[in-house]
Structure 1
Amino acid sequence: MYSFSFQNPTRIEFGVGKEQNIGAYMQEFGVKKTLLVYGSERIKQSGLFDDVAASLQANGIEWVELGGVKSNPILSKVKEGIALARQHGVDSILSVGGGSCLDSAKAIAAGALYDGDVWDFFIGKAAVEQNLPIFDIITLAATGSEMNNGGVVMNEQTQQKYAVNGKDLFPKVSVINPKLQATVSRDYLVYSAADIIAHSIEGYFTASVQPELINMQIEANIKTVIRTTEILLNNPNDLDARGEFAWAATMALNGLTYVGTHGFSYPNHMIEHALSAICDVPHGAGLSVVMPAWMTWYKEQNRPQFERFAREIFGLKTAEEGIAALKAWFDKIGTPTTLAQLGVNDEQLAAVIDNAVQNAVAWQMNETYTQAAITEVFELAK
């Protein structure tokens, strides 16, 4: 194993009904007034908003609302949240929703205490030195943002989809209630499955140092996603499967599957961020298109690991068989595997490639991911 330091300060409160305690959890940290960030009105229709409001009120916590966060969260909504946070003098941010809400909440938490433009954090012009404490109730298992210190937001003006990171951007408390995720649509269930698998394979295939223990953890995570997705497609209310799926999402990006690894990168995410920035496709849907294409393009760089993937995940032998099996599984569950399925035309694709080339420079991956290389990947995705 490669030398490492590891710390994850997020407290997970996992279980049915735990969202009703959110006010008590926040009171432990001295919260008096929070900005409540959410997406659609679905949380009000379902009764979740009322449960949260009742818990906050019972614990003497005031709140200000910021609704309307969209999938592929945008910078203008973050700036709206920062303005509200400052105007009302909130002392914390509470996200109730999926990863888009929580990523926006993290950016708001950092931007509220920063004198400059919050986008500075995304482009490396400034580091997050302080932020408001963050809490969340996660309603969609996918991004793993509930137990890490990063968030992704798109700048609509520049069409850049970049990440913010900060040593204290870990949520203080994250609530995971599998029952709250039972109403997730079929489409977003399968997109989420692709997102979790993408988080799992980035280091698995690209790391120059990859401990056996970490390989086994990642493989268990991927097999759990495959098994539970198939259960949930037939029975969305299976809370055991829903809970395992949710925890697999958390485990894929909370740092544990990167302990002792070295020399890895995130090419699938780097490439897909360009796709969703230009075409506004769901992130997981973009990843299920990019992954098999990238795997086909990259496999000779680490053929033994691709053969291992084929063997351990699908019981097959060759790298090619493993890639084909993953693509076939994506087809089976109904998440896209071609650009045509996403409706991406040639003009859009040219813009996507240019955007991805910029991403490669920003992510310091441009020596490998040249315009020619990125074009080859997208050709394989047609």
Structure 2
Amino acid sequence: MDNFNFYSPTEFVFGKDRENECGELVKKYGGTKVLIHYGGGSAVRSGLIDRVKASLNAAGVSFVELGGVKPNPRDTLIYKGIEMVRANDVDFILAVGGGSVIDSSKGIAVGALYDGDFWDFYAKKLPVTKALPIGVVQTIAAAGSEGSGDSVVTKEEGMLKRDIGADVIRPRFAVQNPALLCTLPAYQTACGITDIMAHVFERYFTNTLEVETTDRLCEALLITMLKEGPRAMAEPANYEARANIMWAGTVAHNGLVGCGRSQDWNSHAIEHELSGLYDCAHGAGLAVIMPAWMEYVVDHNVMRFAQMATRVFGCQMNFENPKATALEGIKSFRRFLHSIGMPINFAELGAKEEDIPTLVEKLNPGDGWGFVPLKAKDVTAIYTIAAHATL
């Protein structure tokens, strides 16, 4: 196990009707003027935004609001949010939504305290060192952004999807009411399940030895998704299934299961170019890319993939041919994704094989990183496997 620091300052406020406490939570963390940031009309139609406003009013906290966040959040709305923050002396950002809303809020929080273009941080021109405080009322279990120091944003010019990471953008609090997930469309639920599993797998596939504690934590989260995912799909209003998925999504991406181990993140980087170019759902893109990546790198550590197959998917270990077990585990993962309605290849996602050179060029893998460092030829091969994948 490697040396590590684990820092998770977010206060998680979990359970039914807890959104009614967000006004006092904002005050607790020093907010006096809030920007309520949210996405489409569902947060308004459901009455959630009104409940948030009522809570802020009851706590004596004034606010302005900015809706319109899209999936794969755009830089153009972040620029508008930065202007609103400065014009209204906002000192706290309250994200009401899922990962896209939270990530957009983080972009605003960083950009509001910077005299230059906020995209400089996403372009890796300089590190993030300060940001306005952020709170969250979570409505989707997927990205884990409610407890992470990460943000992913799309620049409309060129449709470049890039990320930042810093502890200063971890939310001060995250209100998590699983009941808010019960009205999500099935496809959105499935995308969230996929994203959660991908966050775990990015940490599970490691070159660090002797990490049994975090291996078992990873496997527990994955098994939870295999159980609770189909239950939530079959019974959308099942509060307990939604609660388990919601908390699993947070634990999957707040850093805990990655403690003391090297990580990968190549599948996320490769997928970002898909959702950047085609504006597809991130979880759907991961469903296509991650099993393809697994197939391409399996020989790097066959026994780790065989461990996944036996411990997570219940495959029988073939001691004479461990690779057969490993490949069966990968097939089991792809079959599960298909069973919950996820695409498994380019055609089902709406991507085109002829665009692979463009995808690789936009990614610019360079010298690579992660479980297996990848160069352009490797990424091309993974996209090609993904283009033609079958069950």
Could you say whether these structures have the same fold, taking a TM-score greater than 0.5 normalized by the shorter chain as the test? yes
Aligned to 2:320: none
Task: For 1:11 and 1:275, locate their aligned partners in 2 and report how far apart those are by CA, in whole Å.
Answer: 34
Which residue type is aligned with residue 241 of structure 1?
A
Q: CA deviation at 1:312?
A: 0.6
Aligned to 1:338: 345
Task: For 1:366 and 1:303, locate their aligned partners in 2 and report how far apart those are by CA, in whole Å.
Answer: 13
Task: For 2:251 and 2:27, locate their aligned partners in 1 and report how far apart those are by CA, in whole Å.
Answer: 27
Task: For 1:45 and 1:379, locate their aligned partners in 2 and report how far apart those are by CA, in whole Å.
Answer: 42
- Contact 1:34-1:90 within 8 A present in 2 as well: yes
Residue of structure 2 aligned with 1:378, choices 380, 383, 389: 383
Deviations 1:244-299 (A, max 9, x none): 0001100111010011113x220110100011111111000000000111100011
- Contact 1:310-1:319 within 8 A present in 2 as well: yes
Paired residue secondary structure (1:233): helix
Bigger drift between 174-183 and 24-33 goes to: 24-33
Aligned to 2:332: 325
Which residue type is aligned with residue 302 of structure 2?
R
Which residue type is aligned with residue 315 of structure 1?
G
Question: Is 1:50–2:57 an aligned residue pair?
Answer: no
Task: For 1:161 and 1:372, locate their aligned partners in 2 and report how far apart those are by CA, in whole Å.
Answer: 21
Deviations 1:110-134 (A, max 9, x none): 1001011101111221222221110
For structure 1, the 5+ residue unaligned runs are none
Which residue type is aligned with residue 280 of structure 2?
V
Bigger drift between 264-273 and 161-170 goes to: 161-170
Deviations 1:117-166 (A, max 9, x none): 10111122122222111001010000111111111001111332111122
- Contact 1:229-1:245 within 8 A present in 2 as well: yes
Q: CA deviation at 1:352?
A: 1.6
Q: CA deviation at 1:364?
A: 5.2
For structure 2, the 5+ residue unaligned runs are 318-324
Paired residue secondary structure (1:37): strand
CA separation of 1:149/1:61 partners in 2, compared to 1, >3 Å: closer, same or farther? same
- Contact 1:200-1:218 within 8 A present in 2 as well: yes
Question: Is 1:236–2:236 an aligned residue pair?
Answer: yes
* Structure-to-structure mapping, 1:297-336, within 5 angstroms: 297-316=296-315, 317=317, 318-336=325-343
- Contact 1:142-1:196 within 8 A present in 2 as well: yes
* Structure-to-structure mapping, 1:13-24, within 5 angstroms: 13-24=13-24
* Structure-to-structure mapping, 1:290-301, within 5 angstroms: 290-301=289-300
Bigger drift between 72-81 and 94-103 goes to: 72-81
Which residue type is aligned with residue 352 of structure 1?
L
Paired residue secondary structure (1:147): coil
Task: For 2:334 and 2:210, locate their aligned partners in 1 and report how far apart those are by CA, in whole Å.
Answer: 24
CA separation of 1:195/1:355 partners in 2, compared to 1, >3 Å: closer, same or farther? same
Task: For 1:154 and 1:236, locate their aligned partners in 2 and report how far apart those are by CA, in whole Å.
Answer: 30
- Contact 1:107-1:118 within 8 A present in 2 as well: yes
Aligned to 2:139: 139
Task: For 1:150 and 1:15, locate their aligned partners in 2 and report how far apart those are by CA, in whole Å.
Answer: 24
Aligned positions, number: 379
Which residue type is aligned with residue 362 of structure 2?
N
Aligned to 1:285: 284
Task: For 1:103 and 1:363, locate their aligned partners in 2 and report how far apart those are by CA, in whole Å.
Answer: 25
Q: CA deviation at 1:368?
A: 2.9
Task: For 1:230 and 1:347, locate their aligned partners in 2 and report how far apart those are by CA, in whole Å.
Answer: 34
Aligned to 2:186: 186
Q: CA deviation at 1:346?
A: 3.3
Task: Give the alignment's TM-score, normalised by structure 2.
Answer: 0.94
* Structure-to-structure mapping, 1:226-265, within 5 angstroms: 226-262=226-262, 264-265=263-264
Task: Give the alignment's TM-score, normalised by structure 1.
Answer: 0.96
Q: CA deviation at 1:363?
A: 7.0
- Contact 1:270-1:363 within 8 A present in 2 as well: no
Which residue type is aligned with residue 12 of structure 2?
I
- Contact 1:211-1:261 within 8 A present in 2 as well: yes
Aligned to 1:105: 105
Q: CA deviation at 1:28?
A: 1.1
Task: For 1:235 and 1:209, locate their aligned partners in 2 and report how far apart those are by CA, in whole Å.
Answer: 40
Paired residue secondary structure (2:146): helix
Which residue type is aligned with residue 45 of structure 1?
R
Deviations 1:189-216 (A, max 9, x none): 1111110111001121133345001110
- Contact 1:75-1:156 within 8 A present in 2 as well: yes
Aligned to 2:40: 40
- Contact 1:122-1:163 within 8 A present in 2 as well: yes
CA separation of 1:157/1:364 partners in 2, compared to 1, >3 Å: closer, same or farther? farther
* Structure-to-structure mapping, 1:58-207, within 5 angstroms: 58-207=58-207
- Contact 2:82-2:112 within 8 A present in 1 as well: yes
Task: For 2:86 and 2:126, locate their aligned partners in 1 and report how far apart those are by CA, in whole Å.
Answer: 20
Task: For 1:362 and 1:156, locate their aligned partners in 2 and report how far apart those are by CA, in whole Å.
Answer: 27
Task: For 1:257 and 1:294, locate their aligned partners in 2 and report how far apart those are by CA, in whole Å.
Answer: 21
- Contact 1:38-1:97 within 8 A present in 2 as well: yes
Deviations 1:17-42 (A, max 9, x none): 00011001111123111111000011
CA separation of 1:138/1:271 partners in 2, compared to 1, >3 Å: closer, same or farther? same
Task: For 2:16 and 2:372, locate their aligned partners in 1 and report how far apart those are by CA, in whole Å.
Answer: 48
Deviations 1:307-364 (A, max 9, x none): 00000111113001000111111111110111110121234333222222x2x23975
Q: CA deviation at 1:367?
A: 8.9
Task: For 2:221 and 2:284, locate their aligned partners in 1 and report how far apart those are by CA, in whole Å.
Answer: 19
Paired residue secondary structure (2:189): helix
